[in-house]
Structure 1
């Protein structure tokens, strides 16, 4: 891309300082990973889960970027009791340098359970997390809404926000939203359902090769949205999940993002940007990117949102889902 832009600058005769200014864009991004200790647990044997978890932790360490992992505490349980092996997985995240945040106890949808039950989900989502962090002199301070759904009305949103603030939490927004979970469903489906064969390995390889460019295209899209809306490249907040696909691709994705000119920062640094004080601008059943919420607050026309990269149909088919 940079070579392409350089050739354009030469062809159109733009001054050298224009190229330098473009290269000097301050691209920063914070990594957040949801659904710890593991996004999809059904049908995975304990040895397989441990092996996949260890691959993901190794990838996190290889990538060496700061980040926050968001925990669903019901995924620490087996038959209603906390499994020490799964609780130890959270220790591994902390040892890898990640913060841990609250993602509710059971990945509850506020639109389905209502505010009172949702607030209980928040408290139940810190039963193990709070004492675990206290052992390291920490406390949970980040909260991520499941599905990025914050409430259908301004009153619901305000009530939950006040509850979170009273319990020491900050809401962790997302600007780079994506269909990473669809790619991950497809990858896990192939990995779990198909017998080991050259065809299976070819399909997994095809998914890995397609995933990284898709994620980079999403990043490019939201950078362009930021510049169009705010006039500059916002420090982004990236959404991913704890899954098999990232266990195998995370380090590659991070390196490719670095080659795009991004540097990785903590969530707190990213949120210091004044844009994050903008009004959310959205009440409803869905969970769009905060960039799009801000655009809604400014009543941007439909055309503003055009051009977002979509998950290819062949990946949707493998994931067995109808939409992102």
Structure 2
């Protein structure tokens, strides 16, 4: 029922934004409202795998293969962000995990730096963070050099990029010095909660029939939630910017996305979205706008721009939220 309600809300919102005929055109012909430009760049964090350390090598390999197959089946490309800590087994880089990164490159994806250990800039400070960024390219940089490329994209773990203008400027200068550009996010969601719930159900001890029913419900309602979230953020962009900015979606390399990636991409395409490169998306002038957020949370760049303009609380109301039953399975109190 929740999935159907979310999907219906998503459909109604997109229908409201679609071109419609109105009276009053030249010589009595109806006018049509401008069609919304729907473009989206796909990014996937925590390569080669989120929570890789908890998986048996054979399970890890099988789930990675499923995700790569799903990505290839979707026919789209994007940028994957690597935590090099997850390339290591007992403190040594595992060639099999490096080979997984080559599979992403072979599938046409770019690879970026997500730090070595997924550090929180706000917690560790500039010096330790810079060291972890450089540690996070010890495999990535030579791997890309094999193909005549260098790493150019950086994604801040938890999207935390400084609590003061000074903190942010210092880190930005360091990243630019090493050839990195920040990968922004406009479509930031509770995907991590759904993924936690899915993983806990998958690895749980419930009877198989019960487990499979829960997994199927999570997959179905997750896709509906993500499409509703995208529709909401599209409306926020239209309200704030008066056009739909090329969106940037944040996902993670995990079991849930391995199962749902083609369906999720297909759902977005059904609603008129074209998948574009991150490079194309961030060429939009909106991405040069002031980031007005200084708090501890990782929030959408749309909301950062809105805060810079002094938007009131009402602007942020009406967002799609993760259902309570999913949060309960994930063991999460709040988003």
- Whether TM exceeds 0.5 here: the answer is yes
TM-superposed CA distance for 1:181, in Å, is: 0.8
How many residue pairs get aligned? The number is 321
Deviations 1:27-71 (A, max 9, x none): 000000000000112431111110000000001101111200000
Corresponding position of 2:199: 188
Give deviations 1:170-208, integer Å, cap 9, x for gaps: 000000110001100100111012356111100000000
- Say yes or no: does 1:279 pair with 2:290: yes
Which residue of structure 1 lines up, in the alignment, with residue 236 of structure 2?
A: 225
Match of 1:160 in 2: 171
Q: Report the Cα offset of residue 284 of structure 1.
A: 2.2
1:193 counterpart SS class: coil
Q: 2:220 aligns with which of 201, 206, 209?
A: 209
Q: Deviations over 1:63-103 (max 9, x none)?
A: 11120000000000011111111111101111111100000
Task: Tell me the CA shift for residue 18 of structure 1.
Answer: 4.6
Once residues 53 and 145 of structure 2 are traced to their aligned partners in structure 1, the CA distance between those partners, rounded to angstroms, is 30
TM-score by length of 1: 0.95
Distance 1:246 1:94 in 2: 18
Q: Determine if contact 2:23/2:30 at 8 Å carries over to the other structure.
A: no
Query: Relative to structure 1, is the Cα distance of residues 318 and 302 closer, same or farther in structure 2, using a 3 angstrom cutoff?
Result: same
Deviation string for 1:260-299 (max 9, x for gaps)? 1000000000001000000111112122111111111111
Q: Contact between 2:47 and 2:82, CA under 8 Å: does it hold in 1? A: yes
Distance in 2 separating the partners of 1:89 and 1:6: 40
Q: 1:277 to 1:318 in 2, by over 3 A?
A: same
Distance 1:124 1:18, change over 3 A: farther
Q: Could you tell me how far 1:7 is from its partner in structure 2? A: 11
* C-alpha deviation, 1:116, in angstroms: 0.8
> Which residue of the partner structure matches residue 256 of structure 2?
245
Match of 2:151 in 1: 140
Equivalent positions of 1:290-305 (< 5 A) are 290-305=301-316
Question: What pairs with 1:114-133 in structure 2 (closer than 5 Å)?
Answer: 114-133=125-144
Aligned to 1:92: 103
Between the aligned partners of 1:13 and 1:278, the Cα distance in structure 2 is 36
Change (3 A) 1:17 1:108: farther
Taking a change above 3 Å as real, the CA distance of residues 63 and 294 of structure 1, as seen in their structure-2 partners, is: same
Question: For 1:33, what is the secondary structure of its paired residue?
Answer: strand
TM-score by length of 2: 0.92
Give unpaired runs (5+ residues) of structure 2.
1-10
Determine helix, strand or coil for the equivalent of 2:54.
coil
Q: CA deviation at 1:17?
A: 5.3
2:18·2:36 contact (CA, 8 Å) conserved in 1? no
Q: Distance in 2 between matches of 1:306 and 1:251?
A: 30
Alignment match, 2:3:
none
1:270 matched to 2:292? The reply is: no
Displaced runs of 4+ in structure 1, greater than 4 A? 2-10, 12-19
Does residue 1:112 correspond to 2:123, yes or no?
yes
Query: For 1:103 and 1:89, how far apart are their aligned partners in 2?
Result: 16
Q: How far 1:301 sits from its partner (Å)? A: 0.6
Q: 3-state DSSP class of the match of 1:286?
A: coil
Shift in alpha-carbon separation, 1:93–1:322, aligned structure 2, 3 A: same
> Quick check: 170-179 or 284-293, which moved more?
284-293
CA contact (8 A) 2:23 2:31 kept: no
